[in-house]
Structure 1
């Protein structure tokens, strides 16, 4: 009877952990969407400023031509030249202000891309990733390191292999060099039902346990700051390919480490520049 109670409490704890991870994932996805929406709005503003700059350049050409014609027609060189110069000067000041605003927005838009590019370069050089079972790529401004489960775990297990610790040691070095970044460790499975045991019930449990196992290695053995890490299980529901062959199922069994620059810092920077345009 006591064993049944212990098992029930263990399952309840795992479910609670999974729910907490889902909330964190949902919050991060919402935050990422807000940042993407803000990026889109800023791009529209930038295009508008570029159009206004082009219109002002045309106005300067018109003023120069008009000034020349007035001088020729009326012969009052001193008065007309002074007035034309004043108009041109005002137009140039306006364009200078537009250029400054455009430059600020372009800097804001490219800063995150620059940080992301630098991170990818750093990862590829320091981690030394050349194995086809390890991929580093960028999607929507976020860096993903995807590692096939056969390099991390035995089939149906969440015990981290020695080979995996060697790879994770290189990833940990990059994370430790970026103390303001956050990393989410995601466990993914194929769609073959997990038969279950006294600890694991289904693929949800397996994916979560694999994520937390990776997090433990990163924090306890490789000294990564726990505050930078999030453990998440995605089960079988985000496959890379159809689970219709053994090879495809092998591709879908993976652990993905999502490396994210602080979204809040970028969001605040864009928000300040948007307010300057009002």
Structure 2
């Protein structure tokens, strides 16, 4: 479930454009958190739907038991009616006999017959009422069954879409890993987390200190990555620039780590886009500065890990979002 939450969060993050100031970044981060919370709510609603489905199934079983009981009661009532009709016939015979022998007994039997007839009519009315209730319950069960089938179908569709998205992510991870195998041990790692593929390239593979110009070996790695991305047009691409917490000492338009991280991310985006003609609408460049470290900045090794470019690959979540929306 956590992986699904991050899939929706990443889909929303992909709609963002590159950041150029702390204020804009904070606003985008706030929007990201709001949308992530909304996605959590959607998943919670999906869980409530699953609970409702389970409850409805239990209700259906109870209704079936009630229906069976009504059928059993109906059979018993029919037996009672048949028995009473037999009694009625017997009483009629006795009535004829007593009519010939005793007017007093005739009157008594007539009264008893009337009472039996009243009971029979009452039982008949009750039986007809039970039959009407049974028909109404059967109609309700049929409607409930249709609703359950529709809900189960949408749940199955949702699970199928999620399985396809996971399969796509695993396939892309393998393709990227194979394409960049020659760069292992040179500051490049490929991993899958939160339903996305993360390609992390340390700055020592890409940039000289304080520079945002990609060096040749970095261009080679990005060229191989671009080939895989060009073969998978449904994959969305987020390029994030990261720095350590050392203050930027350069001059010119780049004034701090925010600016430097954005410039580096943009440089990588341009190489990916220009190398294989990848649709620019698929790519987003973002600068994180020193604000999202993966290690502490107290050591040279930690600082080196924090100075990096992360290329985050996410499958197209449009079908998943549409399906979740249809279940609300």
TM norm structure 1 = 0.75
Greater C-alpha radius of gyration: 2
- Cα 1:99/1:145, change in 2 over 3 Å: farther
Report the counterpart of residue 88 of structure 2 in structure 1: none
Report the counterpart of residue 252 of structure 1 in structure 2: 306
Instruction: Report Cα offsets for 1:193-237 as digits up to 9, x if no partner.
Output: 222233532211221111011011011223211121111100010
Q: Between Structure 1 and Structure 2, how many residues are aligned? A: 257
Equivalent position to 2:163, from 114, 130, 150: 114
Does the aligned pair in 2 maintain the 1:64–1:88 contact within 8 Å? no
Alignment partners' CA distance in 1, 2:149 and 2:298: 55
**5+ residue gaps, structure 1:** 1-15
- Cα 1:50/1:146, change in 2 over 3 Å: farther
Which residues of 2 match residues 123-272 of structure 1 at below 5 A?
Answer: 123-127=172-176, 128=178, 131=184, 133-139=188-194, 141-272=195-326
Instruction: Report Cα offsets for 1:22-48 as digits up to 9, x if no partner.
Output: 489549725555444323323322322
Runs of 4+ displaced beyond 6 Å: 79-83
Does the aligned pair in 1 maintain the 2:230–2:276 contact within 8 Å? no
Alignment partners' CA distance in 1, 2:309 and 2:46: 34
Instruction: Report Cα offsets for 1:103-159 as digits up to 9, x if no partner.
Output: 203423552x334312322222222155363132232x4443323332322333322
Does the aligned pair in 2 maintain the 1:145–1:258 contact within 8 Å? yes
**5+ residue gaps, structure 2:** 1-17, 83-127
Does the aligned pair in 1 maintain the 2:169–2:196 contact within 8 Å? no
Root-mean-square deviation over aligned CA pairs = 3.5
Q: Report deviation, 1:85.
A: 8.2
Does the aligned pair in 2 maintain the 1:183–1:229 contact within 8 Å? yes
Which residues of 2 match residues 61-80 of structure 1 at below 5 A?
Answer: 61-72=65-76, 74-75=78-79
Stretch deviating more after TM superposition (236-245 or 154-163): 154-163
Alignment partners' CA distance in 1, 2:70 and 2:19: 74
Alignment partners' CA distance in 1, 2:272 and 2:247: 29
Report the counterpart of residue 62 of structure 2 in structure 1: 58
Does the aligned pair in 2 maintain the 1:25–1:232 contact within 8 Å? no
Equivalent position to 1:41, from 16, 41, 45: 45
TM norm structure 2 = 0.65
Does the aligned pair in 1 maintain the 2:241–2:308 contact within 8 Å? yes
